Amino acid sequence: MADRPPPLSSRRGFIKSGLIGAATLASGLAARAAGGEEVITEIQDWNRYPGDGVDARPYGKPSQFEAHVVRRNVPWLTSDTISSVNFTPLHELDGIITPNGLCFERHHAGIAEIDPAAYRLMINGLVERPLVFTLADLKRFPRENRVYFLECAANSGMEWRGAQLNGCQFTHGMVHCVMYTGVRLRHLLDEAGLKSEGKWLLAEGADASAMTRSIPMEKALDDCMVAFAMNGEALRPEQGYPVRLVVPGWEGNMWVKWLRRLEVGDQPWQHREETSKYTDLLANGKARRFTWLMDVKSVITSPSPQAPITHGKGPLVLTGLAWSGNGIIKRVDVSVDGGRNWKTARLDGPSLPMALHRFYHEFDWDGSELFLQSRAIDEKGFVQPTKEALRAARGPNSIYHNNGIQTWHVNKDGVIENVEIS
Amino acid sequence: MADRPPPLSSRRGFIKSGLIGAATLASGLAARAAGGEEVITEIQDWNRYPGDGVDARPYGKPSQFEAHVVRRNVPWLTSDTISSVNFTPLHELDGIITPNGLCFERHHAGIAEIDPAAYRLMINGLVERPLVFTLADLKRFPRENRVYFLECAANSGMEWRGAQLNGCQFTHGMVHCVMYTGVRLRHLLDEAGLKSEGKWLLAEGADASAMTRSIPMEKALDDCMVAFAMNGEALRPEQGYPVRLVVPGWEGNMWVKWLRRLEVGDQPWQHREETSKYTDLLANGKARRFTWLMDVKSVITSPSPQAPITHGKGPLVLTGLAWSGNGIIKRVDVSVDGGRNWKTARLDGPSLPMALHRFYHEFDWDGSELFLQSRAIDEKGFVQPTKEALRAARGPNSIYHNNGIQTWHVNKDGVIENVEIS
């Protein structure tokens, strides 16, 4: 900074001509006091001195002022150092695309770093021709691009036992939404030649946890993809670089990362992740299993516990996300009184099947206590249930597939907490 | 690596059962030799040892194996250290979303680093109420989310003088496409109260170049946005953090970054960037000026000079991008013989107005020499012209708005060069 050039005084007169006084906005937004407006009527350092630009910034980074916008974990949720989940900061984001650096990630044996030159995908089992593909081979098949949400079946899982985690990053942050580029699985299975008795597919990961899940062949041949890019660039390491499975609308655990093998069989494999895990014990002693589809769900991302109201009364933008494994979202309702009265929120942005949808509800906050809720309805008519209704149906032992309505309590100071009301 | 645990021998038998021999693919893809498949039949390090995962990777980065996927500049293009352009690596990307870290950026006085707490936007001139907004104020207006391409008017500018830059990163890399979140400009102008004689808008940047452009009020009130987020997160510093103007379909220079002031006037301001720059001298001595709209255009991104064909003959995926300031792309044609014969390419992904469109053309390469071209047609019927046609119409002095058809020459080894044919 010591070597900066002298001020560019030629711009002074121009700026002074724009001098303004305090103004009252027609919308009722708080007026800016004239005395506080020196930052616009006086030349600032960024107007005066050239910024850094000599380095080409080959791969860009967020502003230094956005250092708080990061994935976060909950230390007590995962028991050891190689199994962890890092949550998307939903309260800081807008739109429906999640930037790659902030997509939540769940790993079971650390993050595999796979040399793409040594990457192979095997297809074996009930096929005419067992095959092995390199990454270059996969890129010679017809590609497609699709925007999909990916939600962990355990998203909101802690909330089965009541309001526990104070922020949508933690209650709902195991979801993200990107544009995937890849090859339809059916092209690869056609290449291998499916045998008629092949009704199930085993997907196996190349990391040290060797994640394995059984997928019904009907889904595999419908819309599943073998993806190698997200939001235009190569998959990130924690998202399965160089290749992951994409299972649109179904639970994230099935979207096997670091995909190394697809085996065709005549029945499910009953692996750990579909017997011990990703199942819910019902009150009658039976377990809900193979609960693949992610049900209709929504959450208000701002205001929320990590994004309190700091501007006082007046115009307020309430926003949130809605999604459904059944397709597109038809409507989102919002309540500010804990579900007694509902208003239809405004959906904005492209409405794409099995993608996140962004909703807004603008209103004047009078400074009184609020109980904020959102309720999504999907194209098949499914309505997001209350937590009470979910608990009544599934008993006291569930972990997965909690798509219940979330409540945020706003106090008169704009401070917000995760609560349950009945 | 020295402290790694012993091999997990329990997985050995499982892997061995998947043993395969060499296979010939039905599609004619090169078969993998069985001897080369030890990487799939033998346990790799990433299967055997847990990966790094202890750190939460609060903000993720690309794989170490993708270090070549970066923005690049052309040192001789810009004359000093504070004015530069860093091009999008289009040849490495897929889909229609550009990841934030790879969006091309052009700066005229370095990259301003603005403290969002000290950010102000002024509206003055022919308005009832001159206003100053903080960033928090802007976020209290109704928001929208739109996917738009942003192309510099000088994109492909060097190619007016013939095939000069050997790669689509350099010939066409001043374009990117993200989802913007922000506020419609008309909400802010309504708040200030436009006077009836206000027909033009001056947008001024807060960086040391104080970029200034005149925008007709009709466009400003139609679809322009004041944006604060891209692909879900805050704008990047080099894209105008915390706020930039979005002028859909129009030249990138008008999308003023680090937006500090909007002045309403009754005529254009005739600033440097609309008189000396961003104009083209015609053969008759007159200049083309206020050429805001970016015309229909396309380019094949792979194969291309930086993405040669390395797999030899057989199935080849040709892919590229098309866009138009007039709206959506209706069709893209592809030629492999320099424009003598054309085939309709396959458009894939959401088709959004004034956004990038991704196209593919899959064919079997017989190993012969090719002259690859693409030609886009937009919803208003505009057809991408040849470079000859452009030069005939605009004379020998143009720099901006080159939307001519690009030719890549492929030799028998799959090596590719930027050429012109006639």
Cα torsion A222, A228, A234, A235 to 10°: value is 70
Q: Quote the CA–CA distance of A67 and A69 in Å, as a whole number.
A: 5
Any idea which architecture A297-419 has in CATH?
Sandwich (2.60)
Nearest CA in chain B to A316: B140
User: What per-residue confidence (pLDDT) applies to B391?
Assistant: 95
User: What per-residue confidence (pLDDT) applies to A42?
Assistant: 82
User: What per-residue confidence (pLDDT) applies to B43?
Assistant: 82
Do A233 and B69 count as a contact with CB atoms less than 8 A apart? yes
Residue A335 φ/ψ, nearest 5 degrees: -125, 140
User: What per-residue confidence (pLDDT) applies to A50?
Assistant: 82
Strands B120-125 and B175-184: unpaired
Q: For a pLDDT cut of 90, what percent of chain B falls above it?
A: 80
- A126-140 burial code (b ≥16 CB/10 A, e <16): bbebbbbbbbebbbb
User: What per-residue confidence (pLDDT) applies to A28?
Assistant: 55
Q: Side chain identity at A115, as an amino acid letter? A: D
For A295, residues 6+ apart whose C-beta sits below 8 A from its C-beta are A324, A325, A326, A382, A384, A401, A403
Do A44 and B206 count as a contact with CB atoms less than 8 A apart? yes
* Statement: residue A23 has pLDDT above 80: no
* Statement: residue A136 has pLDDT above 90: yes
Of B52, B238, B147, give the one whose Cα is nearest residue A59.
B238
* Statement: residue A226 has pLDDT above 80: yes
Q: For a pLDDT cut of 70, what percent of chain A falls above it?
A: 90
Q: What is the pLDDT of residues A345-358, one digit of tens each?
A: 999 999 999 999 99
- The overall longest dimension of chain B from CA atoms, in Å, is 82
* Statement: residue B414 has pLDDT above 80: yes
Do B105 and A60 count as a contact with CB atoms less than 8 A apart? yes
Residue A320 φ/ψ, nearest 5 degrees: -165, -175
User: What per-residue confidence (pLDDT) applies to A57?
Assistant: 78
For an interface test with A, give the residue of B42, B45, B57, B147 to mutate (most A CBs within 10 A): B57
Q: What average pLDDT score do residues A92-113 get?
A: 95
Q: What is the pLDDT of residues A326-335, one digit of tens each?
A: 999 999 999 9
Q: Side chain identity at A416, as an amino acid letter? A: I
Q: Which tokens hold the place of A294? A: 């992610």
pLDDT band at B50 (very low <50, low <70, confident <90, very high): confident
Q: What average pLDDT score do residues A358-386 get?
A: 98
Q: Quote the CA–CA distance of B221 and A70 in Å, as a whole number.
A: 35
Q: Quote the CA–CA distance of A156 and A134 in Å, as a whole number.
A: 37
Nearest by CB to B96, from A66, A94, A179: name it.
A179
* Statement: residue A111 has pLDDT above 80: yes
Q: Side chain identity at A217, as an amino acid letter? A: M
Distance of residue A323 Cα from the nearest chain B Cα, in angstroms: 16
Q: What is the pLDDT of residues A158-183, one digit of tens each?
A: 999 999 899 999 999 999 999 999 99
Q: Quote the CA–CA distance of A238 and A257 in Å, as a whole number.
A: 8
In whole numbers, what is the pLDDT of chain B averaged over residues? 90
For an interface test with B, give the residue of A29, A78, A244 to mutate (most B CBs within 10 A): A29
- Which residues, in sequence order, are bridge partners of residue B204? B212, B261
* Statement: residue B54 has pLDDT above 80: no
Do B51 and A178 count as a contact with CB atoms less than 8 A apart? no
User: What per-residue confidence (pLDDT) applies to B44?
Assistant: 84
Distance of residue A281 Cα from the nearest chain B Cα, in angstroms: 29
CB-CB neighbors (< 8 A) of A362 in chain B: 142
DSSP labels, B197-216: T--EEEEEESSTT--EEEEE
CB A143 within 8 A of CB A182: yes
* Statement: residue A35 has pLDDT above 50: no
Of A375, A352, A406, give the one whose Cα is nearest residue A296.
A375
Say yes or no: ipTM exceeds 0.85: yes
Q: Quote the CA–CA distance of B247 and B183 in Å, as a whole number.
A: 12
User: What per-residue confidence (pLDDT) applies to B4?
Assistant: 39
Of B330, B305, B321, give the one whose Cα is nearest residue B407.
B305
Q: Side chain identity at A44, as an amino acid letter? A: Q
Q: What is the pLDDT of residues A266-308, one digit of tens each?
A: 999 999 999 999 999 999 999 999 999 999 999 999 999 999 9
For A137, residues 6+ apart whose C-beta sits below 8 A from its C-beta are B29, B30, B32
Q: Write out the H or E segment, with its range, that includes residue A362.
A: strand A357-365
CA angle centred on A120, ends A117 and A121, rounded to 5°: 150
Rounded to two decimals, the pTM is 0.92
Do B51 and A110 count as a contact with CB atoms less than 8 A apart? yes
* Statement: residue B126 has pLDDT above 60: yes
Q: In what order do the strands lie in the sheet with A346-348?
A: A297-302, A314-323, A357-365, A346-348
CB B317 within 8 A of CB A143: yes
Q: Quote the CA–CA distance of A247 and A224 in Å, as a whole number.
A: 5
CB A409 within 8 A of CB A370: yes
Q: Quote the CA–CA distance of B223 and A302 in Å, as a whole number.
A: 25
Q: Quote the CA–CA distance of A44 and B187 in Å, as a whole number.
A: 27
* Equal CATH topology for B84-288 and B297-419: no
Nearest by CB to B348, from A61, A145, A315: name it.
A145
Q: How far is CA A398 from CA A153, A157, B147, in A?
A: 11, 8, 39
User: What per-residue confidence (pLDDT) applies to B40?
Assistant: 79
User: What per-residue confidence (pLDDT) applies to A37?
Assistant: 67
User: What is the distance in angstroms between the CA of the first residue and the CA of the last residue of chain B?
Assistant: 59
Do A317 and B139 count as a contact with CB atoms less than 8 A apart? yes
CB-CB neighbors (< 8 A) of B100 in chain A: 60, 99
- Which residues, in sequence order, are bridge partners of residue A203? A213, A262
CB-CB neighbors (< 8 A) of A82 in chain B: 50-51, 53-54
Can you list the alpha helix ranges (DSSP code H) found in A95-192? 135-138, 168-171, 185-192
Q: How far is CA A68 from CA A198, A236, B91, in A?
A: 49, 21, 33
pLDDT band at A40 (very low <50, low <70, confident <90, very high): confident
Q: In what order do the strands lie in the sheet with A131-133?
A: A131-133, A121-125, A259-265, A200-205, A212-216
CB B152 within 8 A of CB B190: no
Q: What is the pLDDT of residues B276-292, one digit of tens each?
A: 999 999 999 999 999 99
Q: Residue B9: helix, strand or coil by DSSP?
A: helix
Distance of residue B260 Cα from the nearest chain A Cα, in angstroms: 8
pLDDT band at A18 (very low <50, low <70, confident <90, very high): very low
Nearest by CB to B131, from A25, A191, A316: name it.
A25
Cα torsion A49, B232, B215, B154 to 10°: value is 70
CB A292 within 8 A of CB A152: no
Nearest CA in chain B to A49: B208
The residue ranges of every structural domain in chain A are 10-48, 84-288, 297-419
CB-CB neighbors (< 8 A) of B30 in chain A: 137
For B378, residues 6+ apart whose C-beta sits below 8 A from its C-beta are B296, B324, B326, B327, B328, B329, B330
Q: Which tokens hold the place of A53? A: 């630009």
Q: For a pLDDT cut of 90, what percent of chain A falls above it?
A: 80
Q: Side chain identity at B402, as an amino acid letter? A: N
Q: Which residue in this structure is represented by tokens 């339809």?
A: A184
Q: Residue B387: helix, strand or coil by DSSP?
A: helix
CB A400 within 8 A of CB A280: yes
* Statement: residue B36 has pLDDT above 80: no
Residue pairs spanning A and B at CB distance below 8 A: 415
CA angle centred on A30, ends A29 and A35, rounded to 5°: 140
Do B314 and A190 count as a contact with CB atoms less than 8 A apart? no
User: What per-residue confidence (pLDDT) applies to A161?
Assistant: 93
Q: Is the peptide bond before A303 cis (omega within 30 degrees of 0)?
A: yes
A270 burial type by CB count under 10 A (0-12 exposed, 13-18 middle, 19+ buried): exposed
Class of domain A84-288: alpha beta
Q: How far is CA B172 from CA B86, B139, B168, in A?
A: 12, 34, 5
Q: Side chain identity at A293, as an amino acid letter? A: L
User: What per-residue confidence (pLDDT) applies to B16?
Assistant: 31
Ranges B21-35, B184-198, B311-325, B367-381: which has the least confidence = B21-35
Q: What is the pLDDT of residues A113-130, one digit of tens each?
A: 999 999 999 999 999 999
pLDDT band at B77 (very low <50, low <70, confident <90, very high): confident
Q: How far is CA B340 from CA B331, B333, B367, B419, in A?
A: 18, 12, 19, 16
Count of helix runs (H) and strand runs (E) in chain B: 8, 23
For B309, residues 6+ apart whose C-beta sits below 8 A from its C-beta are B303, B316, B365, B410, B414, B416
Q: Quote the CA–CA distance of A217 and A264 in Å, as a whole number.
A: 8
User: What per-residue confidence (pLDDT) applies to B80?
Assistant: 67
Q: What average pLDDT score do residues B119-127 get?
A: 96
